[in-house]
């Protein structure tokens, strides 16, 4: 259990999809609490329901059953408009593939995120912080995979979100680039106090978090506490 009062609370959440003519249960009666300012890693093999869980927390989807509370407010019955506002104001996403807009430069991609909120951070400053100060005018096609992912993190951070959800952020990167990306996420958690949830199939990443959830077949099978998280630079895989 997190030390502070949980800001996100999932109670007995189930999510089923109709895929063609087959009903697939992606998540089963899952409960989870996330405290503000926490850095949490959710581990599990592919198909274990990690991304579904992340999408539900991030307001990209609504559960079939169960409750999702953010700051006491129910998200499971929120309409499209409310979910959009939630994503806009509360959540920042980082995906495995950077999903940058190819027709915008690095700076413009970040500015796009800044344009969404009332009190954004400075896009230039955030890009500087992710080490992209000298690549601001470059288009995604002119950046390496790691650089694209840094811009994607900057785009998520510039909104100054309360929650940063990262779905396999190192999945398409080599080890050393991946570590630098994880350092950025850890820094965001430490400096801005942003709550960070990282989803990965890579068990080594769990070492950077205080709390680790493990998933299998659509359920959280265990929670474990890590009293001494290590810096991402020390992780090897």
Partner 1 sequence: MVKSPLLNKLFRTIHSTRGPFFGVVAVVAVGLSVFISMVAVSDNLLRSRESFYRQTDFADLFFHVVRAPEGVVEKIAAVNGVCGVSGRIQKDVSLFRPDGTRATLRLTGFRLPMENELNRILVQKGRLFENNPEGGVLEILLNPQFAKANGLRPGSTVSVAAEGKEKPMEVVGIAASPEFVYAVKDAASVFEDPSGFGVAMMSLKQAQQILDFRGSVNQILVRIVPGTDLNRLRKEIRTILEPYGNLADYPQKDQISEAILRGELEQLRVAATFLPSFFLGLATLMQAVFLGRLVKAARTQIGLMKALGYDNGRLMLLYGGYSLASSGIGGGVGIVAGYGLARVFTRLYATYFNLPRLEAAFNPRSAGLGLALTLALGCLAGLLGARFILEIRPAEAMRLPSPRRTVKLFLEEWPFVWERLDLASRMSLRSIFRNRFRSAVTFLGVLVSIGMLVVSLFTRDSVESLFDRHFNWELRYDLLARFASPVKSSELLNLERLPGVLRVEPLFELPVRLTFRGRHEETVVFGIVPGQSFFGISDHRNRPRGLPVSGLLLDWNSARKLGARPGDILEMETLLGKGPSRKDRLTVAGLCRKSVGRVSYLDLQTLNSILQETGLVTGAAIKTGWGQSLKTERAMTGMINVSSVISRQKEREYMERNLAYMNLSVAILVAFSSLLGLAIIFNASALAFSERRRDLASLRAMGFSRGEVAMFLLKENLLLLAAGTFAGLPFGRLLSEGYARAVSTDLFSFAAVVFPRTYLLATAGGAAFSALAFFLGLRSLKQLDVAEIVKARD
Report the residue number, 159 or 179, with the smaller CB distance to partner 1.
159
Which one-letter DSSP state was computed for residue 233? G
Shortest separation between residue 164's beta carbon and partner 1, angstroms? 12
Q: Give the DSSP per-residue string, 55-110.
A: HHHTTSS--SEEEEEETTEE-TT--HHHHHHHHHHTEEEE-SS----TTS-HHHHH
Report the residue number, 156 or 212, with the smaller CB distance to partner 1.
156
Shortest separation between residue 116's beta carbon and partner 1, angstroms? 5
The four Cα atoms 96, 30, 14, 209 give a dihedral, to 10 degrees, of -10
Shortest separation between residue 70's beta carbon and partner 1, angstroms? 14
Report the residue number, 100 or 209, with the smaller CB distance to partner 1.
100
Cα distance between residue 108 and residue 101, in whole Å: 9
Shortest separation between residue 48's beta carbon and partner 1, angstroms? 14
Q: Can you give the binding site for partner 1, defined by CB under 8 A?
A: 51, 55, 58, 60-61, 80-81, 84-89, 91, 93, 95-97, 99-104, 108, 111-113, 115-116, 139-141, 148, 155-156, 159, 167, 172
């Amino acid at each position: 259990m997190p030390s502070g009062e949980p800001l996100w609370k999932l109670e007995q959440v189930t999510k089923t999809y109709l895929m063609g003519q087959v009903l697939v249960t992606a998540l089963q009666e899952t409960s989870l609490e996330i405290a503000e300012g926490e850095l949490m890693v959710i581990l599990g093999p592919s198909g274990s329901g990690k991304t579904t869980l992340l999408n539900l927390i991030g307001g990209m989807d609504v559960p079939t059953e169960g409750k999702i509370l953010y700051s006491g407010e129910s998200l499971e019955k929120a309409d499209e408009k409310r979910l959009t506002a939630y994503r806009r104001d509360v959540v920042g996403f980082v995906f495995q593939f950077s999903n940058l807009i190819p027709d915008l430069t690095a700076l413009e991609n970040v500015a796009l995120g800044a344009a969404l909120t009332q009190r954004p951070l400075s896009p230039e400053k955030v890009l500087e912080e992710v080490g992209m100060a000298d690549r601001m005018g470059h288009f995604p096609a002119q950046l390496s995979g790691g650089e694209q992912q840094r811009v994607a993190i900057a785009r998520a951070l510039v909104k100054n979100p309360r929650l940063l959800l990262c779905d396999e952020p190192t999945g398409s990167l080599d080890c050393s680039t991946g570590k630098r990306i994880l350092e950025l996420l850890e820094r965001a958690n430490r400096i801005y106090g942003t709550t960070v949830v990282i989803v990965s199939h890579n068990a080594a990443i769990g070492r950077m978090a205080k709390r680790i959830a493990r998933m299998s077949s659509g359920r959280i099978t265990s929670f474990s506490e890590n009293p001494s998280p290590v810096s991402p630079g020390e992780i090897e895989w």
